[in-house]
Structure 1
Amino acid sequence: MSPALIFDCDGVLADTERDGHRIAFNRAFEELGIPLHWGDRKYAELVRIGGGKERIRHALSAEPELTKGIRDIERYVADIHALKSTIYQVMISEGTIPPRPGIRRLVDEALAEGWQLAVASTSARASVEAVLRTATSAHGFSRFSIYAGDVVGKKKPAPDIYELAVADLGVRPQEVVVIEDSAIGLAAARGAGLATIVTVSTYTAEETFEGAALVVDSLGEPGAETPIKVFSDPQDIRPPGYIGLHEVEAVRVRQQEEK
């Protein structure tokens, strides 16, 4: 069975949280007449909660007056989230948020070498698909397996979504490398026994990533004027200014040796 490269979506394929999801949440609240507005600092706290509906539910529970008279809270949360997702998908389709450096290149490299590709995200499937379409070629998009939204009962940092992906792809954990951007994502991947490369994003740069195989500021591009920053390299991968399939394969081999 071919090895697998699994990407998180938000913060990995594109830096979507601050100027994408946050804006979409606020527009949904405004359209629905809900007196909530998530500023940058507030949302930086909320992103530590895996899942959009979970963030809405948390915010509503902190202000009980917002749900006074509402009988079906779960339906209310789902309706808010559905509107937010529609707004977000339009934003992505309009090119509001570009893909992060190196994503399309690494996807093409992995496909050329026969790797399986997947996305494992707590975001709604349609939102993940919207980002993935902008971050990859049409051919690349068609080759991805997508695990998103409510396909598992427990969201990150629980390992459930990665365990589902590994089982569905038919690979052993030591044949998988994950690319994540957050501490909760890393915890989910490591909980499933998967080697993980972290590319920090806007809201995660100050987090701690113990257990990551490699921590960098982005995947980068060959020949770029500024090489990537390496924050942690415990496996001595020594990337040459960017992350290519060679470095991903090195992480996979190190994991096999440890097993």
Structure 2
Amino acid sequence: MLAALLWDVDGTLAETERDGHRVAFNQAFEALGLRWHWDHERYGRLLRVTGGRERLLAAMAEERDAPPTPAERQALARKLHDTKNHCYARLVYEGGIALRGGVAPLIHEARAQGVRQAIVTTTSRANVETLLARQLGPAWADMFDAVLCGEDVRAKKPDPEVYLLALRALRLQPRQALALEDSGPGASAAQAAGVPVLVTRSVYFPADPVEPAPAVGPGLHTREGWSPAPPPRRSARITLQDLASWHAHAEAGAAATARS
């Protein structure tokens, strides 16, 4: 039985990478007098590196005017990341980053039906709080039984640490939960923790290999394009009943495999 939804943030709750983080990184470069610029294609490649500071350090290896020593690069990465977070917060407050279609209705539906929920991300807590306060209101944290962020872990996705912490906080077994992710690394983190994962494809991860997954589709806003296809319903979006059905089917398959 489905007892909890475990939500990723970047790319899953909102297209934060496209509408927020890439824009904010470029604003931070400009604010610090750097001529660096991450276009859509380059940022997509850099997203293979999880973590903002880690991404900056990886990019510096390609910049001729990057600081020469590791210590100087670490210091610049910290300063850039702090500046980027301020720029990101401004973008959120100005309404430039919205939740993806179908996300808010599903959060409210799960809450109304007593299904527990958690934020399970390795992005920073400040960015999570800024986004969700703007989109779900000042009492957003009341909708979630646990909020696990980058500051809570030593290793970021695809390491399963954040999922293991969430399961411990919720006192649940992995198969009682369903993760919602948009990318291969996120799906791998959930799967390594034993949590089945629903994949809602995002702009930067339109075709990541994510098998096995109970279902993969273009977003919670539509019933079209999902594999396996959800059953016909009056709702135009994916519902909690759809998630429970996919979860139950995955559980039945896992049980059959265990018996064979």
Give the TM-score normalised by structure 1.
0.89
* Structure 2: runs of 5+ lacking an equivalent: 256-260
Shift of 1:136: 2.7
| Cα distance in 1 between the residues matched to 2:23 and 2:232 | 35
> Residue 183 of structure 2 corresponds to which residue in structure 1?
182
Residues 21, 212 of structure 1: alpha-carbon distance in 2 compared, 3 angstrom cutoff: same
Asked if the contact 2:49–2:55 (Cα under 8 Å) also holds between the matched residues in 1, the reply is yes
Which has the larger displacement, 176-185 or 145-154? 145-154
Matched residue type, 1:232: S
Is residue 2:245 matched to residue 1:244?
no
> Residue 121 of structure 1 corresponds to which residue in structure 2?
121
Shift of 1:35: 2.8
> Residue 223 of structure 1 corresponds to which residue in structure 2?
none
* Structure 1: runs of 5+ lacking an equivalent: 221-226
> Residue 200 of structure 2 corresponds to which residue in structure 1?
199
Shift of 1:153: 1.5
Q: Secondary structure at the match of 2:74?
A: helix
Shift of 1:242: 2.3
CA RMSD of aligned residues (A): 2.1
Matched residue type, 1:159: P
Matched residue type, 1:238: P
Shift of 1:181: 0.7
Matched residue type, 2:159: A
Matched residue type, 1:115: V
Q: What's the CA shift string for 1:52-81, capped at 9, x where partnerless?
A: 111011111333641136744333322211
Shift of 1:138: 4.6
Is residue 2:159 matched to residue 1:158?
yes
Q: Secondary structure at the match of 2:223?
A: coil
Q: Secondary structure at the match of 1:6?
A: strand
| Cα distance in 2 between the residues matched to 1:68 and 1:19 | 31
Asked if the contact 1:34–1:66 (Cα under 8 Å) also holds between the matched residues in 2, the reply is no
Q: Secondary structure at the match of 1:254?
A: helix
Alignment of 1:11-22 (within 5 A): 11-22=11-22
Matched residue type, 2:251: Q
